[in-house]
Amino acid sequence: MAFKIGLLSIRELEDLFVPILHNCRDTAELKKIHAHILKRSLSQSNFLATKMLDVCDAARDLNYATMLFNQVEEPNGFLYNAIIRTYAHNSMYGPTVSMYKQMLRMTNLSPGKFTFPFVVKACAGLGSHELGRQVHAQVAKFGPESHLITENALIDMYTKCDDLAVAHKLFDEMTEKDAISWNSVISGYARLGQMRKARALFDKMPQRTIVSWTAMVTGYSRMGSYADALDLFRQMQMAGNEPDEISIVSVLPACAQLGALEVGKWIHMYSGRKGLLRKTNICNALMEMYAKCGCIDQARQLFDKMPKRDVISWSTMIGGLANHGKALEAINLFERMKLEGIEPNCITFLGLLSACAHAGLWQLGLRYFDYMKDSCSIQPVIEHYGVLVDLLGRAGQLNRALSIIQQMPVRPDSKIWGSLLSSSRKHGNLDIAVIAMRHLEELEPEDTGNYVLLSNIYADQGKWDGVSRMRTLIRSKSMKKTPGCSSIEVNNVVQEFASGDDSKPFSNEIFELLEMLVSFDEISDHIIETIPEDI
């Protein structure tokens, strides 16, 4: 690199380096330019140091950025803003705040609109609500009175610190709002599950972006409002917004839970066209969708074609195979996972233990349970104990199952005692059934199913006094059975039906058709009865 420099002023020398620094793309080249700057005795130039920090920011070289800043003996406001921006851009939130505090100690410097957005971002990244409030007070002190970028940063900080009341107040007081302002508040409400407030803002939003739609879809899906998530996903497309990676990952669990296979298949094809099948998280979500929609072969094909798999990929496939009765295939996949050096997690073992339960391999299941604790240092949670009890119960090892429940480090829930009660019915063990029922009466006193199940166990063993006692108990508690519900996908729309619910569109037509089918069935039976046997 050659420089032809005659008798130029400092300002002219600085201007000479500006285009060179502007075209600089990496730290190696920057160091060469820096050497020439040092040679020209410009090491104390705040102007050039600021420009060099911009290069460090783009190159993510924080060490060199810090060194450049520290060599300037009297940094000005521009240089402070540059180092604060560089740290914040690279998620070094602690140093961002430290440099801001150092700036405040300088009597001749005041922070402003080029300082506050990055300091507020650091407060949000640190999750420090108190620090954020202090910075907010300094924004009010130093100004400017209204600055959209700073106000958006404050709203984002308050929502990330779960202070939605202040975030919404700031939003309402803004003289100017953009899409980021709206999206920050909507995303905050959606993240905390306050979907009514999120939807009210979303419906008022003058111009929605893909971020707005995705925040709502994600929020509904996370809260289990899968039909709303799917409906909004369709509205998003109708409004001309193409799904992105985040919206796809958010809506696929809704497809899985609702059995919306056709929508899931469309997302699979769309992801292929957009080159998104290289993304591990997209493939993982698609695999789970296929597995939960009963298409385990498609899930396995996707798994085998994945360019890169993580522990979620393996765990999803193992769990899917186990739930589809392909227990040995799931176990073999786990052994292959170990050979490939992938560390299993707690979800992996849930699928693995479930596979052992479906295959009746209770001894192998116990070994894997011990392997999880001893070799993988994974502490079992209540879900692991639940699968283990189911595993032993299915195999008729009811005493072992009861012993494990009694030794659990956490209190057994109703699912675990319910599993033991069901296994007791299957294997005709009244004594353990009564023990399980004693706990279920405390945990689920209004669940009719438990009483009916114990009544059936009494009936199986001819103990009619027990049957009578259970029926009397059911009547005395005035228990009502929870209505059954089902869903069906027609023309890419999922309709959910509950027993006794006549609020659906075309309910009358549906009931008339059902009556017609019943009548037709009765007529068919009558015709069959009248046909001579010798025909």
The per-residue pLDDT for range 254-286, each reduced to its tens digit, is 999 999 999 999 999 999 999 999 999 999 999
Is residue 426 assigned to a domain? no
How far CA 311 is from CA of 198, 347, 376, 392, 477, in Å, comes to 33, 9, 14, 27, 48
Q: Is 524 exposed, middle or buried (0-12, 13-18, 19+ CB in 10 A)?
A: exposed
Residue 512: inside a domain: yes
352 CB-near residues (< 8 Å, 6+ apart)? 318, 322, 330, 331, 334, 344, 368
Identify the band that residue 25 occupies on the pLDDT scale cut at 50, 70 and 90: confident
User: For 239-279, where are the alpha helices, taking DSSP H only?
Assistant: 245-258, 261-273
Q: Give the count of domains, the chain.
A: 1
Helix (H) / strand (E) element for 125: namely helix 116-126
Tokens found for residue 434: 């009564």
Residues of the domain holding 517? 502-535
Residue 105, domain member (yes or no): no
491, part of any domain:
no
Q: What percent of the chain has pLDDT over 90?
A: 71
Within-domain flag for 77: no
303-313: average pLDDT: 95
Model-level pTM? Answer: 0.77
Q: Render pLDDT for 465-495 as a digit per residue (tens, 0 to 9).
A: 888 888 887 777 655 555 555 555 555 555 6
CA–CA dist 497, 485 (Å, integer): 5
pLDDT tens, position by position, 421-470: 899 988 888 989 889 988 888 888 877 888 888 888 888 888 888 888 88
In a domain, 513, yes or no: yes
Task: Tell me, yes or no, whether 521 lies in a domain.
Answer: yes
Task: Say if 530 falls within a structural domain.
Answer: yes
pLDDT at site 522: 56
